[in-house]
Structure 1
Amino acid sequence: MGIDEYGGGQSPQSAVLVVTTNDVPGYRIERVIGEVFGLTVRSRHLGSQIGAGLKSLVGGELKGLTKTLAQTRTQAIERLVEQAQSRGANAVLMMRFDVSEAADAGTEVCAYGTAAVITPRHA
């Protein structure tokens, strides 16, 4: 498995900039639209649970679960971007993740932040 399978984030071609900061250097916040989020819930299949259980006996990274979590976070960001864009935003500020168990059925991953309209500052 390559490094791309363990990473994530938005596509460089995205029309909505997603940052974890309060502002974007070189840009002015024109309008704050409000909170947006992208949510997904993933169940674990039996094979990965058995593999993870066996791996926990000897220690080490659970690569299958790492890959699944990276894919899940990417999907949550994609949904966050879709919601922000549908509300007229071109940026999401202060993006964060929240991860929790969902009724013992799987893992809930929520990407959330503040949708805003930003414009470049002119010198």
Structure 2
Amino acid sequence: MALKAALVITGISIALLVIYGADVAVSKASEQGFIPFDHKIRGMGLGAPAMILPIIGFFISRKEPSKVLGAMLIASGILILVGGAAFLSMAPTADAAARNPLSEAGPLFAVGAFQIALGALKIRK
């Protein structure tokens, strides 16, 4: 039962990451993405749950081995790493000139690497 719940919430996380990435890609091509929120709300509504849910999924099913869940955790971590790399590669805007992009993308890389490590642990079990 816990494994099924972990698979569902990790699948939801992957879906949120894909929607988030698609919305950011659309918003770069036009003025606004298909979700009518600014980047802060989009990050809190889609990005934060997408980073937390796979970790919860790992810990609620920590005693049950699952290669599928491990692969999903790795996929989620890779999507987060790709998002962080895309954030670093974007040209800074006028209002973001004073911010340090590396300090903002650093937590993304840490969470992505942590999820990949959890996925590898889940596969090895």
TM-score (norm 2): 0.30
Specify which structure has the higher proportion of helix.
Answer: 2
Specify which structure has the higher proportion of strand.
Answer: 1
TM-score (norm 1): 0.30
| Rg (Cα) greater in structure | 1
